[in-house]
Amino acid sequence: MAEVGAERAQADEVKSHAGAAMPVRVTDAMAEFVGELARFRKTIEHKLQAQDERMTMLDRKTALRGRPPLSTAADIEAPHQKAFAAYLRRGDDDALRGLTLEEKGLTVAADGGFLAAPQIAAEVQDALRSAGSLRSVANVVTVESSAYEVLVDKGDMTTGWATETSVAETDAPQIERVTIPLHELSAMPKASQRLLDDAAFDLENWLASRIAERFARAEAAAFINGDGIDKPRGILTYPTAPNVSAGDSLIGTVPSGALADFSAERPADGLIDLVYALGAEYRANASFVLNSKTAGAVRKIRDADGRFLWSDSLAAGEPARLLGYPVVVCEDMPDIDAESASIMFGDFAAAYTIAERPDLRVLRDPFSAKPHVLFYATKRVGGGLTDARAVKIMTFG
């Protein structure tokens, strides 16, 4: 019995030691896990801090270089542009009307249209400037009224040398007031609502290109041949006279040397006479204006030494030159024919002025051409002759 009791006591002692050892091993494992988790957290925090420091450094370098800081597309897109895009695609004009209340410049047109987003207006203006039109060489001014007035001095001031006992008297200037009314130019491209619902469709660029295409064609024709009734008056519609008797109020004309053609023996003489019929003060900024068919005929003309009068540009973006002067190709100029006025030469920045309002308005119409949506775009523009002395015309009579 004594031996049995000793063995049982020994077994109990072993169990007690085992039970005491188990909690010690569990506590060590938990402590090790917590330590590993803390070290992992510190590593992640260190990496995030390093990344944040790198981004801050990049923003500082970008600011020093004069570039805008990194931002999202929503931050870059102007409120007017976002609101106008919503109006074009869905007809939602709430945001645009809210802008009209906050900003005085964003007014609603009488017909319900809105000012186009600056991006669309800028693209239309760039396209109009680059189109084959008199706009590329004429004087273009921006006005806020319904007409543009300019004063033109038609006389030459008398000058003289003054002495201690006499002073040269000058004649009174002959001032003429020229008024250029503005007219409404409109275009109405259309698109299907299904196309407008497609988020991948670049609606702004599409609309700008369609408006610019129609505006450019209408403007180019009016600046050359417009009758002045609900459109600008074209430069070829003003009175003309032979250059020797044209004076200051009529556009001088120079004959080509043959009927409906250039002179057979000396075809270059007519062009040379046209150049030097223009006053020296205007020749420095002068250019030729003609259409493609006339340009094809002029390219074949040689001088007495067999050299072509026409020279192509050697640099991209530079116009071709005729007798050393730039050539502007306007397809609305008349073809060479009997009594036609097919070539103009002059300083068109002084001769012709184009006045326009800076705003472009767009009205969305989803009802008139279902299932298509019409976009009625309007712009006010005018044009007129300001100085008849600054341009000469070649007639083929």
Whether 95 and 83 have beta carbons less than 8 Å apart is answered as: yes
Which two structure tokens, joined as six digits, stand for 255? 């004959």
Most confident of 18-22, 157-161, 229-233: 229-233
Query: Can you give the residue ranges of every domain in the chain?
Result: 235-356+381-395
pLDDT digits (tens, 9 = 90+) for 114-142: 788 778 888 888 888 877 789 999 999 99
Beta bridge partners of 257: 262
pLDDT digits (tens, 9 = 90+) for 263-273: 988 999 999 99
Once rounded to an integer, what is the mean pLDDT over residues 332-350? Answer: 95
Q: How far is CA 170 from CA 164, 231, 264, 332, 389, in A?
A: 17, 40, 48, 43, 22
Among candidate residues 50, 48, 68, the one with its CA nearest the CA of residue 59: 68
pLDDT digits (tens, 9 = 90+) for 351-395: 999 999 988 899 999 998 888 999 999 999 999 999 999 999 999
Whether residue 342 has pLDDT greater than 80: yes
Q: Which residues contact 130 (CB under 8 A, 6 or more apart)?
A: 136
Once rounded to an integer, what is the mean pLDDT over residues 298-316? Answer: 87
Q: Which residues contact 269 (CB under 8 A, 6 or more apart)?
A: 257, 263
Confidence of residue 304 (pLDDT cuts 50, 70, 90): confident
- The β-bridge relationship of strands 190-192 and 372-385 is antiparallel
